[in-house]
Amino acid sequence: MLPLPVMLRPASLLFGLLALPLAGLSADAPKAAPAPAPKAPVRAQPPTRAFDGPGAPTFIRLDGKPGATPPVNVDGNYVVGPDYTAAPETKAIAGVPQGKVQQFQMDSKDCQRFNPGIARKEFGTPDPKNPKTLIVVTHTMDYKRTITVHIPAQYVPGTAAPLLVTHDGPGMGKPDLGLCRILDNLIAQKRIPPMITVMIANGGGDAQGHERGKEYDNMSGLFAEFIQLEVLPLVEKNYSVKFTSDPDGRATMGTSSGGSAALIMAWYHPEWFRRVLTLSGTFVNQQWPFDPKTPGGAWDFHDTLIPQSPVKPIRLYMAVGDRDNYNPNVMRDGMHDWVEANHRMAKVLKAKGYPYQYVFCQNAGHGLGPARNQILPAALEWVWQGYQAR
């Protein structure tokens, strides 16, 4: 499996349409009007939650201060917004060494895990015998996923580098140069270690019955095992790099279900990953199929798993928007409020003594919008606090 080259500067392509006459039809024959496209159901706008509303933890207020971010060496709960300014690290800085960006694809037919993939044609219906899950009809499919690799200019060939794994990675020919720019700037400023970043695209679709949901929302170590045992060895082989085996030098990062996947990886395999960064983390009940060991899916993190388990060596950053997702499906199980889920996470993490930072972003929806570019550089720096190469 050979890596494919990537052009880092976008190129514009013009596609022309060639109209060919169909045999046996007159040019003057009337054409049937196209059938109207079906309208997608309108999803209600999530409500705006106040930072001091019911169930919220106590926040330190940074709101109203342009560009403000929490201190990178202090844990706790913070509120920012409602206006946002992109951090300086999101922009190109003269003289900063640029890392290399490479991409290759993995075919599901060549994989041991998640082979084949799954997909659905219709959203599921609530199981009348169990309101915590859905009845979903799926079919198998083959797929390809793109792996994007950022190798910093400071990487010394032959050495074992720290690692950042990100979820929902970009497609072939469309690398996330915005994240690469942040990484280059922070590494040059010695605010994070010179780590190699592996951005892994999902297998397709979203939520219950689709491959992305199977990978990201199920409560098991399977996806971490796929990355550790199948993805990372290919990266090392293709680009002659090496990753540290020290779990304290390995981080995971994701948005939405990619955020829950990031924590799931560390929770089930802390011997591989211990630093976690989540944006709009889906700590709700999206698991499918139903698993009696974790009946609430990722909701169980704050409901039972973290409160009832010994403290694990995990460092966790979370951020959520005040208009983040709220019960966007038909389950109505009381476990689909993204803001409530993140609030609950903050409270159980504090109660158990975990190192964590939680940022509540005012005037922000799911995925955080412009708040992301204000807080992400400082979030990455906080996640890597205390790391010492071994």
Mean pLDDT by 10 residues, the chain (390 residues): 41 31 37 56 81 96 96 97 97 96 96 93 89 90 96 96 97 91 98 98 90 96 98 98 98 98 98 98 96 97 98 98 90 92 98 98 97 98 93
Render the burial of 307-322: b for 16+ CB within 10 Å, e for the rest: eeeeeeebbbbbbbbb
CA distances from 87 to 71, 184, 245 (A): 14, 14, 32
Can you list the domains of the chain with their CATH numbers? 60-383 (3.40.50.1820)
Pairing of strands 250-255, 315-323: unpaired
Q: Which pLDDT does position 23 carry in this prediction?
A: 35
Q: Which pLDDT does position 41 carry in this prediction?
A: 55
Q: Which pLDDT does position 36 carry in this prediction?
A: 60
Q: Which pLDDT does position 45 carry in this prediction?
A: 83
What is the three-state SS of 45-60?
Answer: CCCCCCCCCCCCCCCE
Pairing of strands 356-365, 76-80: parallel
Q: Which pLDDT does position 147 carry in this prediction?
A: 98
Question: How many angstroms separate the CA atoms of 273 and 270, rounded?
Answer: 5
Q: Residue 332 — left, alpha, or beta (φ > 0 → left; ψ -120 to 50 → alpha)?
A: left
Nearest to 233 by CA among 116, 117, 147: 147
Instruction: Give the DSSP H or E segment for 349.
Output: helix 338-352
Angle in degrees, 0-180, between the axes of helices 177-188 and 371-383, rounded to the nearest 10: 50
The pTM (predicted TM-score) of the whole model is 0.88
Q: Which pLDDT does position 32 carry in this prediction?
A: 56
- CB burial of residue 63 (10 Å; 0-12, 13-18, 19+): middle
Q: Which pLDDT does position 330 carry in this prediction?
A: 80
